[in-house]
Amino acid sequence: MSTNGPVRPNTRKLLIRTWGCQMNVYDSGRMADILAPLGYAPTESAEEADMVILNTCHIREKASEKVFSDLGRLRLTKNERQAEGKDTIIAVAGCVAQAEGAEITARAPWVDIVLGPQTYHRLPEMVARASRAAGAVIETDFPAEDKFDHLPEARGNGGPVAFLTIQEGCDKFCSFCVVPYTRGAEFSRPAAAIIAEARQLAANGAREIALLGQNVNAWAGEAPRTVSGESPGGNTHGNTWRLARLLRELAEIPGVARLRYTTSHPRDMDDDLIAAHGEIPSLMPYLHLPVQSGSDRVLAAMNRGHKADLYLRLADRLREARPDIALTSDFIVGHPGETAKEFEDTMRLVERVGFAGAYSFKYSARPGTPAAGQPFPVPEAEKDTRLQALQALLRQQQDDFNRACVGRVVDVLVTGTGRHPGQVAGRSPWLQPVHAAGAAPVGAVVPMQLRATHPNSLSATMVLPEESAAA
């Protein structure tokens, strides 16, 4: 079923609940785009939704049980609507759908559609099948065609920040991670398709574009073709561009004031990308670069493919290229076999690098992953103790970073109004929430002086043009 035909009147309501990473947020937006021509308009109420999609994430502990808990509540809603003569289509999408497949409909037979992350371009067909046939529609294969070739033009939400998926899947096979099994092999979208989507997002009002991928800095997309059919040169490998080349091209799009990318792997930080951080003004001084552990033995057990020293050298090179860059990271404590000494290696790495923020978790086994069968599990109480120590250090570093920003004049992207009347809210170059008294249109980039830190934000005052020039 094509999504490019006439758009039906918005007579049906669609609720999408999204868990997990920004790639899931992007996918949810594209699913809404796909269903809009079928007459589905967004709603926040399950009671008025003609279709509910749970877009799930399998990374966190007990992810599946949280989905089934939500499905239990939706069953009651579906029954109530059915008693009123209203049909409700319930779909489970994303990584839990990919991992669980038919198990979802076995445990929750009121689910109508189960679809993996690589098949949502087929949603119109699935909706038609679910509407006319008994039994659930299950689509969790990895199709040969590129799903991006079948998606409608990105509508975007008209907001100042937009997410753009450029790469999917993972070939790294870290021992603790389900992504290679739920998202499939690494795939890079062609540069021309990404540039076209970015231009459309900018035309729709996006001032900041965040490039997304499971291993976004592994992106190696087909280069655009010139009129002569040749691919342009400069930071290319044959007819393939790497991420630094793409960022340089996106930086030239009118209206795009800021660029970001996430999530990266240390093994894919090449020289051109490091240099780009010092050479592209619109590439924000912020990089999320997961390390997971500071112990070489644990990193090997995790199958990370790098050592702690590589990460330390990358941090030094990035700061040499862009002295004001903020680094954030991911950590797992208590990986099977991790000793107290190896945990201390992680603490020493954190002290050496200094992070502006981080995500940290206790190791929890994911069925089917190599680490789930590794010996010498760390006792739960010990994992708790280690995690608390790590998080205390990371919180201290984040507080130190925020306090060091006080007094600086920085450009803040206005994203909306503040919690109090007469306030605007926005984001600093380092992704810190900022609020200030005054008025400015959403999407404006306004110089502000950071005045004070708060538990979850910084307060600031707007800087007049002459004051900004003096600063």
Q: Which residues are annotated as a binding site?
A: 21, 57, 95, 170, 174, 177
Spatial contact of 435 and 424, defined as CB atoms under 8 Å apart = yes
Strands (DSSP E) found in 43-199: 51-56, 89-93, 113-115, 137-139, 161-165, 167-168, 187-188
Alpha helices in 263-339 (DSSP H): 271-279, 296-301, 308-321
Residue 140: Cβ within 10 Å count: 18
Known binding-site residue numbers for [4Fe-4S] cluster: 21, 57, 95, 170, 174, 177
CA distance linking residue 234 with residue 276, whole number of Å? 13
CA distance linking residue 406 with residue 1, whole number of Å? 55
Q: Which residue has the tokens 């503040």?
A: 418
Spatial contact of 261 and 211, defined as CB atoms under 8 Å apart = yes
CA distance linking residue 373 with residue 366, whole number of Å? 10
Alpha helices in 165-305 (DSSP H): 179-182, 191-203, 243-250, 271-279, 296-301
Edge-to-edge strands, sheet with 258-262: 161-165, 208-212, 258-262
Query: In this structure, what DSSP letter does residue 255 have?
Result: T
Strands (DSSP E) found in 57-186: 89-93, 113-115, 137-139, 161-165, 167-168
